[in-house]
Amino acid sequence: MIENLNPVSRAIYPWQKAVWEQFDLERLPQAILLHGQAGIGKLDFALELAQAVLCEADLFSTGTKPCKECQACRWFETANHPDLISLVPPLYRHKLPHAELEGMPKQEVDEPEEKEEGDAKKESSFIKVEQVRLAIDSMNVGAHRGGKRVVLIYPLEGLRTEAANTLLKSLEEPNEQTVFILLSDHLDRVLPTIRSRCQLIALPKPTREDGLQWLQTHLGSLAEQKISLEEIEATFDEQGGAPLAAREIILSRRLDDDKDSMALASSATRILLEAMSKGKEIPWIDCAEKIHKAPFGVLLACMQRWLFDIQSAYQIGELRYYRRHEKHLQALARQANQARLLKLWKSVLLARRHENHPLSTRVQMESLLLQYQQLFGD
């Protein structure tokens, strides 16, 4: 039977529970090498472990570490703990819960990854040797809080020869105050000389069933609305059963979808406004054809504001929404048939109420734009 040395903390994933419980925080080795497949939550585990090492609560009274309440824990959570040194290359920075964990300049942290190509991208996946030296140097100064100091390195493969040798030197000369928490997605790429100086701990991944269940729960409301079970399963399997990797991919796909539909909405709105400013000459079929793929609600809202402005220009001579189209709107207000305007206004309202109705957007848009054209008829 495994002795439960360390009760499970809130942030530990269910599939890591057994490993976490075996840690004796009072007797940690000088260097721990956590290894396992990418995307299974190793970094979260490592951060939790780092926080537990730095936590200043009395284990016997709190029963669990990190307590998340002591001064040290609060510093840790706000990325201000002076005794946590994390070496993470720019490419992986977004995986940290707080991007400025070790006070790196923000621009380096926020460097957009998609703009990096070739060498720059490759470079950003490595930890600079100067960073390692700085970390090692700072270890010779006593820990700020008088307790332990943690050096967290992720991923270990991000150290090139020179940086790895610098790390190796400090692993060879143990410093009792310092705990190294090293992470690797590919244990076979880690220098044997480094490996041999660490306690190796393999972090498992969940079973397929547990992993899928976790994934569904942690996609939140997204899972109910837009993501099919098939997509969840397919992505999970593509990622070799790594739930966090699957989650990141699914969420980034949604983000792209949102970006796409926002871009689509903004160009459709521009086309619609330009068409409506032509009044009687509105190329309504052509316009409906060009904009019908944009979200219907956005199109209707745009049309509604436009009609409001025509009405408002007619009644009080002022606009509320589209002041940059003032010239057109004032002219249209003079031409529009007010009874038909009211009728169209009601049609748009009605369409908005049923905007999720499966009727084709193009057909509905054509009908509304034709009505719009007739505002300016004889």
Point out which residues bind Zn ion (CB under 5 A).
55, 57, 66-67, 70, 73
* C-alpha to C-alpha distance for 156 and 159, rounded to whole angstroms: 6
CB of 7 to Zn ion, least distance (A): 14
Residue 301: CB partners within 8 Å, gap ≥ 6?
352
Which of 248, 297, 292, 247 is CA-nearest to residue 271? Answer: 292
Cβ proximity to Zn ion: between 9 and 347 the closer is 9
CB of 57 to Zn ion, least distance (A): 4
Cβ proximity to Zn ion: between 73 and 332 the closer is 73
Tokens linked to 24:
């004796």
Residue 244: CB partners within 8 Å, gap ≥ 6?
39, 40, 41, 44
Cβ proximity to Zn ion: between 121 and 145 the closer is 145
Q: What is the largest CA-CA distance in the chain?
A: 93
Cβ proximity to Zn ion: between 56 and 231 the closer is 56
Quick one: which H or E segment has residue 184? strand 178-184
| Phi, psi angles (nearest 5°) of residue 201 | -130, 115
CB of 70 to Zn ion, least distance (A): 3
CB of 178 to Zn ion, least distance (A): 19
Q: Kindly give the residue spans of alpha helices, DSSP state H, lying in the chain.
A: 17-21, 42-54, 59-62, 71-77, 106-110, 118-123, 129-140, 161-172, 192-195, 208-217, 221-225, 229-238, 243-276, 284-291, 296-316, 326-335, 338-353, 361-375
Helix (H, G, I), strand (E, B) or coil at 84: strand
Please provide the DSSP assignment of 217-262 as one string. Answer: HTTTHHHHHT--HHHHHHHHHHTTT-HHHHHHHHHHHHHHHHHHHH
* C-alpha to C-alpha distance for 164 and 270, rounded to whole angstroms: 55
CB of 145 to Zn ion, least distance (A): 11
Cβ proximity to Zn ion: between 52 and 244 the closer is 52
Cβ proximity to Zn ion: between 53 and 242 the closer is 53
Helix (H, G, I), strand (E, B) or coil at 202: strand
* C-alpha to C-alpha distance for 90 and 111, rounded to whole angstroms: 8
CB of 55 to Zn ion, least distance (A): 3
Cβ proximity to Zn ion: between 59 and 99 the closer is 59
Cβ proximity to Zn ion: between 152 and 332 the closer is 152
CB of 73 to Zn ion, least distance (A): 3
* C-alpha to C-alpha distance for 215 and 239, rounded to whole angstroms: 12
Tokens linked to 14:
């269910």
CB of 72 to Zn ion, least distance (A): 5
CB of 152 to Zn ion, least distance (A): 17
Cβ proximity to Zn ion: between 43 and 55 the closer is 55
Which of 22, 42, 9, 33 is CA-nearest to residue 242? Answer: 42
Helix (H, G, I), strand (E, B) or coil at 168: helix
Cβ proximity to Zn ion: between 21 and 56 the closer is 56
CB of 68 to Zn ion, least distance (A): 6
